[in-house]
């Protein structure tokens, strides 16, 4: 179910950071068809050799993304195995991860943020229709393909990246550190990963987007993070009550009570970006 790419057709360029058990690099792949050589800019995601045992899960994540195609899902070209190296070859998305983009202090408008949330909701709805669980929705995995320019009225364009190594393969501490994105039921038993968990993560991700990429519960240690769930706490609500309501509906501790994707999309579409809201939708109170 995978396109195998020859190692010799890949070229590594600069390092772009790392994920859970992975390192990412900018690079290029060379294809030859009908006698013509094509060089494509790619993102090379290498699984750490020490975590070689996760390679099935690593490729499972990628194969999930390559079985289906949707405009807001990252394109995975294939995989390359070279000795102990396992490499996933993905499309290169120009502006990178949204958390870093927002942190770099780009001031973006409320309607820009709403656009991004709607695009993520449509990707989630598509995955739900295909009965596919992502398992790692967060702004780190939301890639910005087009900046959009509010003064020119052109809107941003985002793509949801692969979930990486499955949360079921990660240690307890790695899962704890994903609080508040990881749904509470997953903490109890990672096998509980369901579509409902993606909705919880969606809520935390929308909170991030409207909080300019500041991570919720930033700097909290694992003990405090665990207590956050044990005492059924919620993230600080946005002053924009309709937005805060949607986020808290998604971050409902009882998974069965979380809204359907259709309801999420309906609520996002009904969030009016009237002047009043834009002028007064100040950022959530920080904890």
Binding site for ligand E4V (CB under 6 A): 16-17, 24, 43, 74, 90, 92-97, 143, 161
CB of 115 to ligand E4V, least distance (A): 20
Q: How far is the CB of 96 from ligand E4V (least distance, A)?
A: 3
Q: CA distances (Å), 27 to each of 39, 171, 280, in order?
A: 10, 30, 44
Is the CB of 87 or the CB of 186 nearer to ligand E4V? 87
Residues 144 and 156 sit within 8 Å (Cβ to Cβ) = yes
25 vs 228 by CB, closer to ligand E4V? 25
Residue 187 CA: distances (Å) to CA of 131, 170, 199, 219: 22, 11, 15, 19
- Nearer to ligand E4V by Cβ, of 96 and 163: the residue is 96
Nearest to 43 by CA among 4, 13, 85: 13
The least CB distance from residue 132 to ligand E4V, in Å, is 19
Q: Residue 172 and residue 51: Cα distance in Å, rounded?
A: 16
Q: For the CB of residue 41, give the shortest distance to ligand E4V in the complex, in Å.
A: 9
- State which residue, 102 or 143, has the beta carbon closest to ligand E4V: 143
Least distance in angstroms from the C-beta of 63 to ligand E4V? 16
Let me know: does 137 contact 180? Beta carbons within 8 Å. Answer: no
144: left (phi over 0), alpha (psi -120 to 50) or beta: beta
Q: Residue 70 Cβ, how far from ligand E4V at the closest point, in Å?
A: 15
* Three-state DSSP state, 194: coil
* Least CB distance to ligand E4V at residue 4 (A): 19
The DSSP 8-state label assigned to residue 239 in this structure reads: S
Nearer to ligand E4V, 77 or 210 (CB): 77
3-state SS class at 206: helix
Of 11 and 226, which CB lies nearer to ligand E4V in the complex structure?
11
Cβ-proximal residue to ligand E4V, closest one: 96
Q: Which is nearer to ligand E4V, 90 or 205 (CB)?
A: 90
Whole-number Å distance between alpha carbons of 217 and 228:
9
Q: How far is the CB of 45 from ligand E4V (least distance, A)?
A: 8
CA 135, 136, 138, 143 torsion-angle sign: negative
Q: Which is nearer to ligand E4V, 79 or 93 (CB)?
A: 93
**Per-residue DSSP letter, 226:** H
What b/e string do you get for 149-169 counting C-beta neighbours within 10 Å, with b at 16 or more?
ebeeeebbbbbbbbbbbbbeb
* Angle at the Cα of 69 from the Cα atoms of 108 and 168, rounded to 5 degrees: 85
């Amino acid at each position: 179910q995978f396109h195998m790419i020859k190692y010799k057709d890949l070229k590594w360029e600069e390092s772009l950071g790392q994920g859970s058990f992975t390192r990412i690099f900018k690079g290029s792949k060379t294809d030859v068809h009908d006698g013509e050589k094509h060089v494509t800019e790619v993102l090379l995601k290498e699984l750490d050799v020490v975590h070689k045992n996760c390679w099935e899960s690593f490729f499972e994540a990628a194969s999930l993304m390559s079985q289906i195609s949707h405009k807001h899902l990252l394109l995975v070209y294939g995989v390359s195995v070279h000795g102990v190296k396992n490499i996933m070859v993905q499309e290169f998305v120009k502006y990178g991860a949204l958390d870093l983009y927002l942190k770099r202090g780009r001031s973006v408008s409320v309607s820009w943020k709403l656009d991004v949330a709607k695009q993520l909701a449509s990707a989630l709805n598509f995955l739900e229709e295909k009965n596919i669980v992502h398992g790692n929705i967060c702004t780190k995995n939301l890639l910005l393909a087009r900046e959009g320019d509010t003064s020119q009225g052109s809107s941003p364009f985002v793509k949801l990246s692969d979930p990486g190594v499955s949360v079921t393969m990660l240690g307890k501490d790695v899962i704890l550190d994903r609080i508040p994105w990881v749904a509470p039921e997953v903490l109890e038993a990672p096998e509980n990963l369901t579509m409902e968990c993606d909705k919880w993560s969606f809520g935390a991700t929308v909170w991030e987007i409207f909080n300019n990429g500041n991570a919720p519960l930033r700097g909290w240690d694992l003990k405090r993070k665990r207590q956050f769930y044990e005492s059924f706490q919620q993230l600080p609500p946005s002053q924009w009550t309709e937005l805060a309501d949607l986020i808290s509906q998604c971050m409902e501790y009882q998974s069965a009570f979380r809204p359907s994707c259709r309801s999420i999309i309906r609520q996002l579409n009904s969030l009016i970006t009237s002047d009043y809201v834009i002028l007064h939708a100040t950022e959530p109170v920080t904890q």
